Protein backbone atom coordinates (compact mmCIF):
# COMPACT_ATOMS: atom_id res chain seq x y z
CA UNK A 1 0.00 0.00 0.00
CA UNK A 2 0.95 3.61 -0.25
CA UNK A 3 3.55 4.89 2.20
CA UNK A 4 1.49 8.06 2.81
CA UNK A 5 -1.69 6.20 3.75
CA UNK A 6 -1.93 3.01 5.81
CA UNK A 7 -5.09 0.98 6.17
CA UNK A 8 -5.85 -1.37 9.04
CA UNK A 9 -8.95 -3.55 8.84
CA UNK A 10 -10.36 -5.40 11.85
CA UNK A 11 -13.76 -6.98 11.47
CA UNK A 12 -16.30 -4.22 10.83
CA UNK A 13 -13.78 -1.42 11.42
CA UNK A 14 -11.25 0.33 9.17
CA UNK A 15 -8.56 2.72 10.38
CA UNK A 16 -7.13 4.98 7.68
CA UNK A 17 -3.86 6.39 8.96
CA UNK A 18 -2.40 9.37 7.14
CA UNK A 19 1.40 9.29 7.39
CA UNK A 20 2.20 12.66 5.78
CA UNK A 21 2.08 16.07 7.48
CA UNK A 22 -0.09 17.45 4.70
CA UNK A 23 -3.44 15.93 3.75
CA UNK A 24 -3.75 16.93 0.09
CA UNK A 25 -7.18 16.66 -1.49
CA UNK A 26 -5.58 16.43 -4.96
CA UNK A 27 -3.96 13.13 -4.04
CA UNK A 28 -5.09 10.25 -6.26
CA UNK A 29 -4.24 7.88 -3.39
CA UNK A 30 -6.62 9.74 -1.06
CA UNK A 31 -9.48 9.48 -3.56
CA UNK A 32 -8.73 5.81 -4.19
CA UNK A 33 -8.58 4.88 -0.50
CA UNK A 34 -11.76 6.76 0.39
CA UNK A 35 -13.68 5.34 -2.58
CA UNK A 36 -12.54 1.76 -1.90
CA UNK A 37 -13.49 2.13 1.76
CA UNK A 38 -17.05 3.01 0.74
CA UNK A 39 -17.24 -0.31 -1.15
CA UNK A 40 -16.42 -2.37 1.94
CA UNK A 41 -18.94 -3.86 4.36
CA UNK A 42 -17.79 -1.99 7.46
CA UNK A 43 -19.68 -0.06 10.12
CA UNK A 44 -16.90 2.18 11.50
CA UNK A 45 -14.17 4.20 9.83
CA UNK A 46 -11.50 5.98 11.85
CA UNK A 47 -9.51 8.70 10.09
CA UNK A 48 -6.23 8.82 12.01
CA UNK A 49 -4.67 12.27 11.63
CA UNK A 50 -1.89 11.89 14.21
CA UNK A 51 0.86 13.02 11.82
CA UNK A 52 -1.23 15.55 9.86
CA UNK A 53 -0.52 19.23 10.48
CA UNK A 54 -2.23 20.78 7.44
CA UNK A 55 -5.36 19.78 5.52
CA UNK A 56 -5.89 21.54 2.21
CA UNK A 57 -9.30 23.04 1.49
CA UNK A 58 -9.83 20.33 -1.12
CA UNK A 59 -8.79 17.77 1.50
CA UNK A 60 -11.53 19.04 3.82
CA UNK A 61 -13.98 18.88 0.92
CA UNK A 62 -13.00 15.28 0.15
CA UNK A 63 -13.39 14.26 3.80
CA UNK A 64 -16.82 15.93 3.97
CA UNK A 65 -17.93 14.19 0.79
CA UNK A 66 -16.64 10.87 2.14
CA UNK A 67 -18.49 11.42 5.42
CA UNK A 68 -21.76 12.17 3.61
CA UNK A 69 -21.47 9.07 1.42
CA UNK A 70 -20.52 6.94 4.44
CA UNK A 71 -23.57 8.24 6.32
CA UNK A 72 -25.77 7.04 3.44
CA UNK A 73 -24.23 3.57 3.87
CA UNK A 74 -24.79 3.67 7.65
CA UNK A 75 -21.04 3.88 8.36
CA UNK A 76 -19.79 5.86 11.35
CA UNK A 77 -16.82 8.10 10.49
CA UNK A 78 -14.65 9.63 13.21
CA UNK A 79 -11.42 11.59 13.16
CA UNK A 80 -8.98 10.35 15.81
CA UNK A 81 -5.52 11.34 17.08
CA UNK A 82 -5.85 14.87 15.74
CA UNK A 83 -3.32 17.58 16.58
CA UNK A 84 -4.64 20.44 18.72
CA UNK A 85 -4.15 23.19 16.13
CA UNK A 86 -5.91 21.20 13.43
CA UNK A 87 -8.72 20.37 15.84
CA UNK A 88 -9.14 24.09 16.61
CA UNK A 89 -9.32 24.84 12.88
CA UNK A 90 -12.05 22.25 12.39
CA UNK A 91 -13.91 23.71 15.37
CA UNK A 92 -13.76 27.18 13.82
CA UNK A 93 -15.20 25.72 10.63
CA UNK A 94 -17.88 24.05 12.78
CA UNK A 95 -16.84 20.60 11.58
CA UNK A 96 -15.82 19.17 14.95
CA UNK A 97 -19.20 17.60 15.74
CA UNK A 98 -19.58 16.42 12.16
CA UNK A 99 -16.51 14.21 12.61
CA UNK A 100 -17.09 13.25 16.25
CA UNK A 101 -14.33 15.41 17.76
Query: CATH number of the domain that 51 lies in?
Result: 3.30.750.24
Cβ pair 81, 61 in contact under 8 A: no
Q: Residues with Cβ < 8 Å from 81, sequence gap 6 or more?
A: 48, 49, 50
For residue 100, tell me if it sits in a domain.
Answer: no
Q: Residues with Cβ < 8 Å from 6, sequence gap 6 or more?
A: 16, 17, 19
Quote the domain boundaries for residue 13. Answer: 5-92
Tens-digit pLDDT profile for the chain (101 aa)? 458 899 999 999 999 999 999 888 888 999 999 999 999 989 999 999 999 999 998 999 999 999 999 999 999 999 999 999 999 988 888 888 877 77
Phi, psi torsion values for 16, nearest 5 degrees = -105, 115
Report the number of distinct structural domains present in the chain.
1
Q: What's the number of CA atoms in the CB half-sphere (13 Å) around residue 95?
A: 17
Amino acid sequence: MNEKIQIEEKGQTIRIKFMDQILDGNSAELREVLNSTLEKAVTEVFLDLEKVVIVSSLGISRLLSFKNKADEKKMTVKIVNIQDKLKETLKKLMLDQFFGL
